[in-house]
Amino acid sequence: MNCLMFFKMLLAFSFISLFYVGNAQQSYGNSTVSALFAFGDSILDTGNNNLLLSVSKVNFYPYGRDFIGGRATGRFGNGRVFSDIIAEGLGLKNLLPAYRDPYLWNNDLTTGVCFASGGSGLDPITARTTGSIWVSDQVTDFQNYITRLNGVVGNQEQANAVISNAVYLISAGNNDIAITYFTTGARRLQYTLPAYNDQLVSWTRDLIKSLYDMGARKFAVMGTLPLGCLPGARALTRACELFVNQGAAMFNQQLSADIDNLGATFPGAKFVYVDMYNPLLGLIINPQASGFIDVADACCCTPTHLIPCLDASRYVFWDVAHPTQKSYETIAPQIIENIKAKLA
């Protein structure tokens, strides 16, 4: 595959991912939750795409350049991704392993794993387009995980405690809006943008119900990034694509309102909406306040940056669609505190 073709595919297909589960009602190290389970897209994916025949995979250099040992693990960034940082913030572990990693250790199961898949989304068309793991299939992986967990802990009650006291982190909608609606237009003849956003919110509710029916009770549901400000979206004019941002903001508003009302639909469950749009937009608008120097360009993997920048921590974005580890670390503390406050 030539470089130009690769960049086109990466721009069109590599956006974002989702959600994690946990242990019993007690303190686990510094955490009050048992585990983290991640579902969704590349924002959370820690390597589930590595063995797929997918255009949305990054298990090669320079990805992982700033990861432990400089290894490309299938994470969509220069180092750790958002799911890793949330797991650490909850006091569970520094790295959230991918469930489809063939070398996954059994002792990692009780504190959480990642089911998210780069390029995936709520819409089945999105996953088919990118060759990623659709969220419904991620739920099937979670069912298989429960069977495996039961074998590891050897006690149904203890396994149930892990499931019910875990945090389920979901990141979806990024690729549905950015790829399936705006880039390929696969849904534009069928839906107006508000109607498509309504459908995405409904699919999110279906995903939550599937997990709830298997014992999940603590949900952290992420909104989309400011999609019109990603380097891939602003490559031609260097200005944020206003209409794309408006579409993302509209979805986030609808999603947040729905999440606020789900307690009545799912008795005993707790929910928190995780705003990704405004914290990242804040870095883009005022990068110098957090030590960044470039917001319009990516550090690497674009036609204008074939050779990666020397210091990714000075860039808000690593590639055409994904923030750097430093960006995640900058916005995460307040998000982690909010998750703790709402889901403890």
Around Cβ 314, how many Cβ atoms within 10 Å? 15
Q: Summarize the chain as % helix, strand, coil (round to 5).
A: 45, 10, 45
Q: From the candidates 14, 66, 322, 327, which is the catalytic residue?
A: 322
Would residue 198 show up in a list of annotated catalytic residues for this protein? no
Would residue 132 show up in a list of annotated catalytic residues for this protein? no
Q: From the candidates 31, 42, 117, 120, which is the catalytic residue?
A: 42
Cβ-contact 73, 147 below 8 angstroms: no
Nearest alpha-carbon partner for 56 in 139, 124, 145, 116: 116
Q: Tokens 């982690």 — which residue?
A: 336
Would residue 120 show up in a list of annotated catalytic residues for this protein? no
- Distance, CA of 293 to chain centre: 25
List alpha helices for 154-302, DSSP H.
Answer: 156-164, 174-175, 193-213, 242-260, 277-285
DSSP 180: I
C-alpha–C-alpha distance, residues 93 and 113, integer Å = 11
- Dihedral over alpha carbons 320, 322, 326, 330 (to 10 degrees): 120
Q: From the candidates 297, 313, 319, 327, which is the catalytic residue?
A: 319
Catalytic positions = 42, 319, 322
